[in-house]
């Protein structure tokens, strides 16, 4: 298994760089389809956006760490922030009903539901200083 | 790539053709473009995202916001894209029920009653 690591300042304009690195890392290993690569890029971008938000809310300027594990049949990406932690909605929480034309009120809050649907596995872990989110697309690389 | 928006009129609709990624960093600029168009009296908008390779949940939020504003003013917003990821995200969020995705600007114009 190969690993690629990257740290970024907690600023949203670095998310394009994260997507570029994650997509190219996944591409180099060739273990994901194009659709899976799109899913992974979006899920990782959402996770990093949440990390940036958490750090801003927490007054932190610590770097956000992104670790990409490249396996034969899948990719796992872990995003770790210093944002003081948060409580993720339960995995069973329904997707907000944005589709109802009378209730188009979900201009925010789609990020985590999207992550859960796009990735094959999502786990949130509290760390001493923040949150680590692990997203798997395909089959998780064995460590 | 930096977000760019090119605006043109077509059959009474204002077409906003977007280039670049729409993410949490760039979506405020897209929102500004849409709000400016609406404020200037353009209530029938076609948002052409065919050249947008990436859109995140904040970008979807901007689209939802603009859809609500145009409809509340008696107008409409239609969306153009042929990208698979957008179709899938629209299905996942259920947004496709409120806002179908058209494959071309011409199809978007023809999709229903317009400003005519």
pLDDT higher than threshold 60 for residue B35: yes
- Verify whether the Cβ–Cβ distance B93 to A107 is below 8 Å: no
- pLDDT the model gives residue B1: 59
Kindly state the tokens that stand for A91: 């995995």
Q: Tell me the pLDDT band of A110, cut-offs 50, 70 and 90.
A: confident
Q: What is residue A125's predicted lDDT score, i.e. its pLDDT?
A: 92
In whole numbers, what is the pLDDT of chain B averaged over residues? 94
**Cβ pair A107:B98 closer than 8 A:** no
Mean pLDDT value of segment A85-91: 63
Mean residue pLDDT of chain A comes to 87
A35 close to B (CB below 8 A): yes
Q: Which residues does A13 contact at the CB level (< 8 Å), separation at least 6?
A: B25
Lookup: tokens for A59: 């007054």
pLDDT at site A102: 44
In chain B, residues 88-107 whose CB comes closer than 8 Å to chain A: 88-89, 92-98
> DSSP assignment of A110-129, as one string?
-HHHHHHHHSSEEEEEE-SS
Q: What is the ipTM of this complex?
A: 0.91
Overall fold of domain B4-110: Transcription Regulator spoIIAA (3.30.750)
Minimal CA separation from A31 to chain B, in Å: 18
User: Above 80 in pLDDT, residue A105?
Assistant: no
CA dist A64 and A125 (Å) reads 15
Q: Where are the alpha helices (DSSP H) in B1-116?
A: 27-39, 57-72, 84-93, 95-98, 105-110
In a domain, A143, yes or no: no
Query: Which tokens sit at A134?
Result: 């692990």
User: Into how many domains does chain A fold?
Assistant: 1
When mean pLDDT is compared across A69-83, A88-102, B50-64, the lowest value belongs to A88-102
Segment B75-103 shows an average pLDDT of 93
Host H or E run for residue B75: none
- Chains A, B: CB pairs < 8 Å: 88
Residues of chain A in contact with residue B67, where contact means CB-CB under 8 angstroms, are: 104
The residue among A84 and B51 whose pLDDT is bigger is: B51
Q: What's the pLDDT score for residue A20?
A: 96
Q: What is the pLDDT of residue A2?
A: 92
Minimal Cβ distance to A99: which of B54, B62, B96 = B96
Write out pLDDT tens, residues A29-65: 888 999 999 999 999 999 999 999 999 999 999 999 9
- What is residue A91's predicted lDDT score, i.e. its pLDDT? 62
pLDDT-derived band of residue A98, with 50, 70 and 90 as boundaries?
low
Range of the domain at A66: 2-138
Q: Residues 103-142, chain A: which have Cβ within 8 Å of B?
A: 104, 106-111, 113-114, 117-118
Q: Do A46 and B57 touch (CB under 8 A)?
A: yes
Residue A103 scores a pLDDT above 50: no
**pLDDT band for position A87 (50/70/90)?**
low
For residue A56, the domain's CATH number is 3.30.565.10
What is the number of alpha carbons within 13 Å of residue B28 lying toward its C-beta? 4
- Structural element, H or E, at residue A141: none
End-to-end CA distance of chain A: 8
> Given a cut of 80, is residue B74 above it in pLDDT?
yes
């Amino acid at each position: 298994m190969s690993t690629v690591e990257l740290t970024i300042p907690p600023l949203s304009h670095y998310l394009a760089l994260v997507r570029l690195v994650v997509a190219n890392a996944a591409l180099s290993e060739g273990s994901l389809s194009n659709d899976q690569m799109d899913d992974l890029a979006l899920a990782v971008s959402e996770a990093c956006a949440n990390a940036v938000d958490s750090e801003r809310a927490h007054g932190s300027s610590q770097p956000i760490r992104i670790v990409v594990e490249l396996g034969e049949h899948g990719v796992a990406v872990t995003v770790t922030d210093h944002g003081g932690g948060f409580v993720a909605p339960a995995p069973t929480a329904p997707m907000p009903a944005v589709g109802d034309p009378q209730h188009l009120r979900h201009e925010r809050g789609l990020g985590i539901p999207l992550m859960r649907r796009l990735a094959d596995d999502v786990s949130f872990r509290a760390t001493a200083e923040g949150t680590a989110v692990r997203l798997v697309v395909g089959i998780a690389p064995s460590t | 790539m930096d977000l760019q928006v090119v605006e043109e009129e077509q059959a009474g609709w204002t077409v906003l053709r977007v280039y670049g990624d729409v993410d949490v960093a760039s979506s405020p600029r897209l929102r500004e473009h849409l709000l400016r168009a609406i404020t200037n009296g353009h209530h029938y908008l076609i948002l052409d995202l065919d050249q947008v390779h990436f859109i995140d949940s904040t970008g979807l939020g901007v689209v939802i916001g603009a859809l609500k504003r145009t409809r509340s003013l008696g107008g409409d917003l239609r969306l153009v894209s042929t990208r698979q990821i957008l179709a899938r995200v629209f299905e996942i969020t259920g947004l496709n029920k409120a806002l179908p995705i058209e494959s071309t600007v011409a199809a978007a114009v023809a999709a229903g009653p317009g400003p005519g």
